[in-house]
Structure 1
């Protein structure tokens, strides 16, 4: 990769949220990416349109370069044909925009460390990375929480063309063929990463029809490590009983049902770099703005993870997640503007 772009401030990590959103939207990296795929970069800046209108234009553009179908898992998407120059520009742009960063935490002490769930690899990689940060003394935390939902892996397996990339096949290669959903995988990945025994307590509710109404099921498993560290694994309920909880709903469940956030508390969110900006924007909207807490989101992987847990991200995969990033940015901008109007 020969092209490089300056890094704009990631919205939610600077002092002026609205100005940072504006600058991120109109950054050299975003403009070059849009231009590389024959979009209109001039639509990203200027006083002729409101901030949300310009984000809408960018979101419309991302539909032309995304291969992920609505309501389908990321691992079911096809590759987008592109030239070497387009691929180079994509990787350079998403690097500047924060989708490839493995940056260290800004602080040492945090009130909460949160690991976000996902498919099988995420459920093992993210807890392992968070545990490494804690065990190596890079960060300390009063509590650690893994946040996910009830996602049946067989649903995504049905649409994955490569049989080796199906969640069932990855679970098999890891030596855990019994893993069939996100909550089970996140619980096992967290227990292995933090060296946990049996839970101290378990709470939750089961859906009367888990196959058709997975969003009604929720659960929390409470653990305590030998050194006293509190670790919890949660599957949040959904606002729509027919689907699993999305990222915003897991944050809401954490804030409303699992803890009492005090103003000024520090939260470190641990995820995969490609998803960090999207999950950060959602966390700023759902946690930082309403609860006046500091939210920091980092992505990373432990270098010695099992081969089955390694996942290369192609330029297409970054473009697909740029679309979800822009959607999260728009929701954040709407809330930030509304709060600004209220004074």
Structure 2
């Protein structure tokens, strides 16, 4: 089966229809139908928007393993062998695995999205691999928030010798490991009424490209929640130092590629007119030995659900 192309934004005149076609092909794919069938469903042969809406409802009923908890709280559930095999077989085709190669040789900005503690180490390692392989960029940015580590993350951090207790500290430690020693940064921050309203931006101009930075962005709804991916994209894009930064390569964990590709296209592409594509970290960069992240079938299904929701939201915007 041929791997499906995921949404990207080229900042050209044909983007809107091209991305609509990509979303519709993804939603109508035999790969997605095969996963749905393993859970007793049958993707309807209806209009593209209706199909995605049906898939969104189906995924919410069948694949919500978080129930409002953090991603590291997902545990094994009562999946049948056929269900586990279906998501394992179709994950690469759907974009949840093996999406490591950028389409271009140069980007103005490489954005690494924040995440759990291991992501702070793995993503900079992968970007370093890309640079060694010849990728060129002007700016490497680690973009996230001040989310506190869970107790499990704290234990992993200590095992990996990361002296941090939140996402921002983990991102800083990972950047230091991959590109350090970094020295003293330029430092700009704002302290809001709550940690969710606060932000901090560290930048290292090392006399050579690429420059490095770590940014913890504020929430757009600080009284209710911390910053989400959309908040972080908007905050950076709205205040970026160099308006000339027009091309973006987004680096994330493999299973988050379809979801974050759709979100980034909607914000960085549609809202800010930047070109953007998304890749997932390699197996070699993700190898932390005994402390490597185990991605279960449940993780893949959870992120497939997130991807469906993001594709639906992006499609509605493009078709609106």
1:222 corresponds to: 203
Q: Which runs of 5+ in 2 are unaligned?
A: none
1:163 corresponds to: none
Mapped pair 1:95 → 2:92 = yes
Mapped pair 1:284 → 2:265 = yes
Pick from 161, 168, 183: which aligns with 2:168?
Answer: 183
Mapped pair 1:73 → 2:70 = yes
Q: Following TM superposition, where does structure 1 have runs of at least 4 consecutive aligned residues deviating by more than 3 angstroms?
A: 225-228, 259-263
Pick from 304, 329, 341: which aligns with 2:311?
Answer: 329
Distance 1:7 1:171, change over 3 A: same
Please report how far the alpha carbon of residue 105 of structure 1 lies from its aligned counterpart in structure 2 after TM superposition: 1.3
Mapping of 1:73-222 within 5 angstroms?
73-134=70-131, 136-154=132-150, 157=151, 166-176=152-162, 178-208=163-193, 213-222=194-203
For the Cα contact (< 8 Å) 1:148–1:183, is it kept in 2?
A: yes
For the Cα contact (< 8 Å) 2:56–2:309, is it kept in 1?
A: yes
Mapped pair 1:316 → 2:298 = yes
TM-score calculated relative to the size of structure 1: 0.85
Q: Deviations over 1:141-188 (max 9, x none)?
A: 11111100110113xx3xxxxxxxx10110110123x41100011011
Q: Distance in 1 between matches of 2:317 and 2:260?
A: 16
1:56 corresponds to: 53
For the Cα contact (< 8 Å) 2:2–2:93, is it kept in 1?
A: yes
Q: Deviations over 1:108-154 (max 9, x none)?
A: 111111111111001110011112212x1421111111100110113
Q: Distance in 2 between matches of 1:108 and 1:145?
A: 18
- Larger RCO of the pair (alpha carbons < 8 Å, separation 6+): 2
1:6 aligns to what SS in structure 2? coil
Q: CA RMSD in A?
A: 2.0
1:152 aligns to what SS in structure 2? coil
For the Cα contact (< 8 Å) 2:9–2:269, is it kept in 1?
A: no
For the Cα contact (< 8 Å) 1:133–1:139, is it kept in 2?
A: yes
Please report how far the alpha carbon of residue 331 of structure 1 lies from its aligned counterpart in structure 2 after TM superposition: 1.5
For the Cα contact (< 8 Å) 2:100–2:282, is it kept in 1?
A: no
2:32 corresponds to: 30
For the Cα contact (< 8 Å) 1:68–1:77, is it kept in 2?
A: yes
Pick from 206, 218, 224: which aligns with 1:237?
Answer: 218
Distance 1:88 1:131, change over 3 A: same
Mapped pair 1:12 → 2:8 = yes
Please report how far the alpha carbon of residue 30 of structure 1 lies from its aligned counterpart in structure 2 after TM superposition: 0.8
Q: Distance in 2 between matches of 1:227 and 1:32?
A: 49
1:121 aligns to what SS in structure 2? helix
1:153 aligns to what SS in structure 2? coil
Please report how far the alpha carbon of residue 13 of structure 1 lies from its aligned counterpart in structure 2 after TM superposition: 6.2
TM-score calculated relative to the size of structure 2: 0.91
Q: Deviations over 1:255-277 (max 9, x none)?
A: 001245459x3211111110111
